[in-house]
Amino acid sequence: MLKILFIGDIYGKLGRETVKKILPQIKDEEQPNLVIANAENVAHGSGISLPTIKELMSSGVDWLTTGDHAFDNEEQFKFCVAEGLPVIRPANYSAGVPGVGHRLIQTGNYQILLIAVLGRVFLHQDFDDPFRAVDSILDEYLAKFKPSAIIVDIHAEATSEKIALGHYLDGRVSAVLGTHTHVMTADARILSRGTAFMSDVGMVGAVDSVIGLGKENVIKSFLTQIKQEKIVPETGGALLNSVLVTIDPGTAKAVEIKPITRYLTI
């Protein structure tokens, strides 16, 4: 069986340190063939950078997806692309932006197609249709061969949009895993045609926070309606949310999906 560990949105330095300390333990216990993580918040909570991506790679992450904050540090994203680092952007950004939205990954005897897309409900930008974007990628690859697994990261606000995409792709991909809200949902399951699904994998970062940000300024923003400085905690209690998907490489169908959450203090 093929095992893929998917880690929720990694938030800032505390998130990176948490991955560094906890991921080796999970890898020893679960023996995943591939580790994927959402990295759009790794650089102090906003975008990516060359050093932070390399740090996560040295901690044991194999491939990284992003989301609506992918280009918060656009030049840094370009550096990562130029260096050939294992990071993808959402596939349904408009044509001409840096990077790619999917990648065929070889690990051992397995070929895994990784796809990232952005939802459109409640998000400010006018992204292309994520449903049709995945269709187009599947048409391109499945006309040639059948991958051992196909993993889709749907980075979206609305649970309904994520669930709809899960059902739309059921039986055609191995897993549809949601990111973006930073709150792990309790709906991990295998859909009727063999696709593993979870509305949101969660996050890696500060426990005593508001989805990774210092709680005091976030509360003040809600009380005053005046935007406050974003404070990203760098020490204290932390958690790592992730999910382990076990896949039959012969059928590319999921046989198990298991949420994994760990806590520590840094």
Q: Where are the domains of the chain?
A: 2-206+236-265
Span 32-65, pLDDT tens digits: 999 999 999 999 988 999 999 999 999 999 999 9
Work out the pLDDT band at 265, boundaries 50, 70, 90. Answer: very high
Are 84 and 55 a contacting pair, CB within 8 Å? no
| Position 129, amino acid | D
**Candidates 44, 69, 155, 182; catalytic one:** 69
Q: What is the CATH number of domain 2-206+236-265?
A: 3.60.21.10
* Tokens coding 74: 């656009």
Coil vs helix vs strand at 16: helix
Work out the pLDDT band at 124, boundaries 50, 70, 90. Answer: confident
List 111's β-bridge partners, or say none: 106
Is 180 part of the annotated catalytic residue set?
no
Residue in this structure with the two tokens 């020490």, named with its chain if needed: 235
Q: What is the pTM of this model?
A: 0.96
* Ordered strands of the 149-155 beta sheet: 102-107, 110-118, 149-155, 175-179, 196-198, 189-190
**pLDDT given for residue 215 in this prediction:** 92
Q: What is the mean pLDDT of the chain?
A: 95
Q: How far apart are CA 108 and CA 99, in angstroms?
A: 25
Work out the pLDDT band at 125, boundaries 50, 70, 90. Answer: confident
**pLDDT given for residue 41 in this prediction:** 94
Q: How far apart are CA 41 and CA 58, in angstroms?
A: 18
Strands 196-198 vs 189-190: parallel, antiparallel or unpaired: antiparallel
Are 194 and 170 a contacting pair, CB within 8 Å? yes
Alpha helices in the chain (DSSP H): 12-30, 50-58, 74-82, 130-142, 159-169, 215-224
CA-to-CA dists, residue 68 to 31, 111, 189, 199, 259, angstroms: 31, 27, 26, 17, 24
Coil vs helix vs strand at 85: coil
- The answer on pLDDT for 24 being more than 90 is yes
| Position 10, amino acid | I
Work out the pLDDT band at 80, boundaries 50, 70, 90. Answer: confident
